[in-house]
Amino acid sequence: MVDEKLNRLNRILKDYSDAPGPLVQVLHRAQEVYGYLPADVQLRIADRLEIPRSTVHGVVSFYSFFRTEPRGEHMISICTGTACHVKGAERIVDMIQEALGILPGETSEDGRFTLQDVRCIGACGLAPVMMIDEDVYGKLDRKKVEATLDLYRNA
Amino acid sequence: MPHRLDVLVCSGAACVSNHTADVRDALQSAIEAHGLSTEVRLVETGCMGPCELGPILLVYPEGALYIRVTPDDANEIVEEHFLKGRPVQRLLWEDPAARRIAEEKKQVAFFERQEKVVLSNCGTIDPEDLQEYIATGGYEALGLALTERQPEELIQIVLDSKLRGRGGAGFPTGLKWQLAARAEGDEKYIVCNGDEGDPGAFMDRALLEGDPHAVIEGMTIAAYAIGAAKGFIYVRAEYPLAIRRLEIAIDQARASGLLGEDILETGFAFDVEIRIGAGAFVCGEETALIASIEGQRGMPRTRPPYPSDRGVFGQPTLINNVETWGNIRHIVLRGADWFRSIGTESSPGTKVFALSGKITNTGIVEVPMGTTLRELIDEIGGGIPDGKALKAVQTGGPSGGCIPAQHIDTPIDYESLKELGAFMGSGGVIVLDEDDCMVGIAKYFLEFSCDESCGKCVPCRVGTRTMLSILERITDGRGTLGDLEQLQMLADTIRSTSLCGLGQAAPSPVLSTMKHFREEYEEHVQTATCSAKRCKALIRYEIDRAACKACDLCRKACPVEAIEGTPGEPPYTIHESVCIQCGRCFDVCPFDAVRIESGKKKQNEVEG
Ligand SMILES: Cc1cc2nc3c(=O)[nH]c(=O)nc-3n(C[C@H](O)[C@H](O)[C@H](O)COP(=O)(O)O)c2cc1C
Ligand code: SF4
Ligand code: FES
């Protein structure tokens, strides 16, 4: 398993070895492979792209999309963008926090869910919305939130 | 053999999340089951606009528009409409303005009042099929440009069109092209800004997902005009569907000789690459975006030098917004005069807006510049739902401002909005009604800017935080009139001393609400009340004794045991000192007996 991931990482690094300014794109691809960007992966990327390790770390910490902690099986992203805000996103955040017992940025103890709040996922017409992995759920209210969470809990 | 019926299935992001794929599959099977496969063609298109009503189907030739279609409806539609020619009335859009069922798409005010130029293909063609794009005149402009126009002529056309950048600031596009063409460098780059970071903006998404070739074509024409061989499309990571459709479009264009070494056999070479953002709002700013393309932290730098002189990898770079790129092919094909005949003198052309918030028809619309807010909100948007009153319209996101309801007849163009202390921005229009607290809205945006400040300069990093803490004090009911003056002072400093547009514009939402809604600020500081009943610290939850049926639901729902009562023995009561204003009781009460009252919790009272 681990080796398979390492192979994929090496292939990515090879693909980008001649590309100009590849760091952000390589980090994206690496995060797809590992689910997050652990320190040893960052080190390998730095060494292979011949970029100072501190630069890699600086880039990883600058962008909110990059994670340095493993994430749960499902990523729940609650939109707190303006359209969702005026349609009560705050309440949705409260509901989900309470239902899962975790705060944004945290992962549930059983490793099933990671919660994060995001700024607008471009589905404002359906506000308030959340995204679970790549699926968008719109026009949320308490009932819909509960039904949706159940869908994933019982899966 | 041509098909008897074309059925367009909206596959924009909102409809996808409303499970449009299930509807498509159900239709497909029903069509096959009725032996209509050769007569009816299903086409998946980009966003048609009225996102709130999805999934949406549009059936041609008659133009019948079905809304909120479920897989269960598929059989009926196929049997009644496709087979017997009787559109299913209950699924057609009942136009709220006309109070009638629209048999045809063009009878609906939402569509009738729009003028689709940039979005002409969105919702009408399959974005994953290059042939459909070509069938509607796609890549004709590129052919014309490469074979019959000199680079200088193209720049002149764009200059003459007076097209202004759609990414926010409205800088004349032709001028930018001219600067980039004249700049000296070993290599030049074309960049498409698809970061679309303003919360409440989803126009660029609609175009990238619905008509990706239009953006590529615009960029390729510019590449020829300024002498660039390489382009980047920077898309935010939150738009996976847009990224996927762009990848498909780029591959198809390469395979058909529309990108690559020898475009349309003219010897001209240009290629584009997608760069995916990583969740930093400031990366929408052009110099930060360039740093991000180069693989660095997306921090803005001082301008000049402008990107047209020193951009990607230090080379001259022409950067335009997605929608700006979408205009180019139309201008090249139809000419500058045609373009200037739409819109207003100083802001020609159309503008795409994303309507959201307290508005009936949320979604994507395109109208000529100079259209009034009233037309946009009442006629196209269908007005404010639930009989509420319009309070304000927010445009320009965290860099913008709030336009109060009394200015609803303002024509939308760059100058008029600026005069009102607002900002065109990229096109997000968020409608606010009487239930929204303007101080709270200002605080919300400031919080956003504060979070997204890259931290490079002090006024932005520290100043916005200080402003935010003052606003927090005010929404907690602990503010003073002096706070208002201090906000004004801080705002002026941040505005004039921040390095990039993020910091410079961060105070705008506060300034515009203080200008137009000063009484709301005064109410918060002088009487510690929030009449919109939005500020948590300034409201109380109460149970209406007469309406309470003692069903016990609220008591069970309360997470802090603030509610007391015995089942079957009304009324229940809420202990204010325990209540945390979470609103669960309000949500669960089946009898609307829980009321939100304006007024501070007693034990919170602080003098001053
Ligand atoms: C904080 C900040 C965020 C911005 N975000 C965007 C954006 O998301 N999309 C965009 O096209 N322009 C954005 N801009 C404007 C760009 O800097 C730039 O002006 C624009 O891409 C130029 O294209 P245009 O002339 O076609 O509008 C932003 C500017 C600032 C200061
Ligand atoms: S104004 Fe703010 S976002 Fe812009 S460079 Fe300064 S700190 Fe960064
Ligand atoms: S504000 Fe929530 S999707 Fe845009």
- For residue range B26-83, list pLDDT tens digits in order: 999 999 999 999 999 999 998 888 888 889 999 988 888 899 999 999 999 999 999 9
Name, in order, each residue with C-beta under 8 angstroms of B83's C-beta and a sequence gap of 6 or more.
Answer: B34, B36
Tokens standing for residue B576: 């204010």
Q: How far is the CA of A153 from the centre of ligand 2 (A)?
A: 42
Burial class of residue B152, CB neighbours in 10 A (0-12, 13-18, 19+): exposed
The reported pLDDT for the residue numbered A136 is: 87
Q: Which residues pair with B58 in a beta bridge?
A: B8, B65
The response to whether residue B397 sits with its C-beta less than 6 Å from ligand 1 reads: no
Q: Which of B368, B381, B431 has its CA nearest to residue B49?
A: B381
Q: Do B362 and A124 touch (CB under 8 A)?
A: yes
| Average of per-residue pLDDT across B154-163 | 98
CA dist B397 and B407 (Å) reads 18
Interface contact A125-B559, CB threshold 8 A: no
For residue B230, give the H/E element and its range. strand B230-235
Q: Is any atom of ligand 3 closer than 6 Å to the C-beta of A83?
A: yes
The enclosing H or E element of B569 equals: strand B569-574
> What's the mean pLDDT when you consider all of chain B?
92
Separation CA B93–CA B383 (nearest Å): 16
- Nearest ligand to the C-alpha of residue A128? 3
| CA B481, chain centre distance (Å) | 35
Find the B31 Cα to ligand 2 centroid distance in Å. Answer: 56
Give B84-124 pLDDT, tens digit per residue.
888 898 898 876 544 455 666 666 778 888 889 999 999 88
Cβ contacts (< 8 Å) between B428 and chain A: which residues? 82-83, 124
Reported confidence tier of residue B18, pLDDT bands at 50, 70, 90: confident
Residue of B145, B166, B151, B119 whose CA lies nearest to B333: B145
CB atoms within 10 A of CB B516: 21
Q: What domains does chain B contain, in order, with CATH numbers?
A: 5-112 (3.40.30.10), 130-338 (3.40.50.11540), 350-433 (3.10.20.600), 438-527 (1.20.1440.230), 536-607 (3.30.70.20)
3-state secondary structure B396-440: CHHHCEEEEHHHCCCECCHHHHHHCCCCCCCCEEEEEECCCCHHH
C-beta of residue B535 within 8 angstroms of C-beta of residue B524: yes
Q: Is the CB of B286 under 6 A from ligand 1?
A: yes
In angstroms, what separates the C-alpha of B571 from chain A's closest C-alpha? Answer: 25
Nearest CA in chain A to B588: A142
User: What single-letter amino acid sits at A107?
Assistant: T
Could you tell me the residue ranges of all domains in chain A? 2-62, 74-153
Among B85-99, B160-174, B202-216, B489-503, name the one with the lowest average pLDDT. Answer: B85-99
Chain segment B159-185, per-residue pLDDT in tens: 999 999 999 889 999 999 999 999 999
Beta bridge partners of A116: A77
pLDDT band with cut points at 50, 70 and 90 for residue B598: confident
Closest ligand to Cα B507: 2
* Percent with pLDDT over 90 in chain B: 77
CATH number for A74-153 (one of 3.40.50.2300, 3.20.20.70, 3.40.30.10, 3.40.190.80): it is 3.40.30.10
- Check B202 against A122: CB less than 8 A apart: yes
Residue B193 near residue B286 (C-beta atoms within 8 A): yes
- Residue B101, pLDDT score: 59
Are A87 and A128 within 8 A, CB to CB? yes
Selected for mutation to probe chain A from B230, B238, B355, B581 (highest A CB count within 10 Å) is B238
Residue B274's closest chain A neighbor by CA? Answer: A25
Q: What does the longest C-alpha to C-alpha distance in chain A come to?
A: 52
**What's the confidence (pLDDT) of residue B606?**
42
Which residue's CA is minimally distant from atom 12 of ligand 1? B167
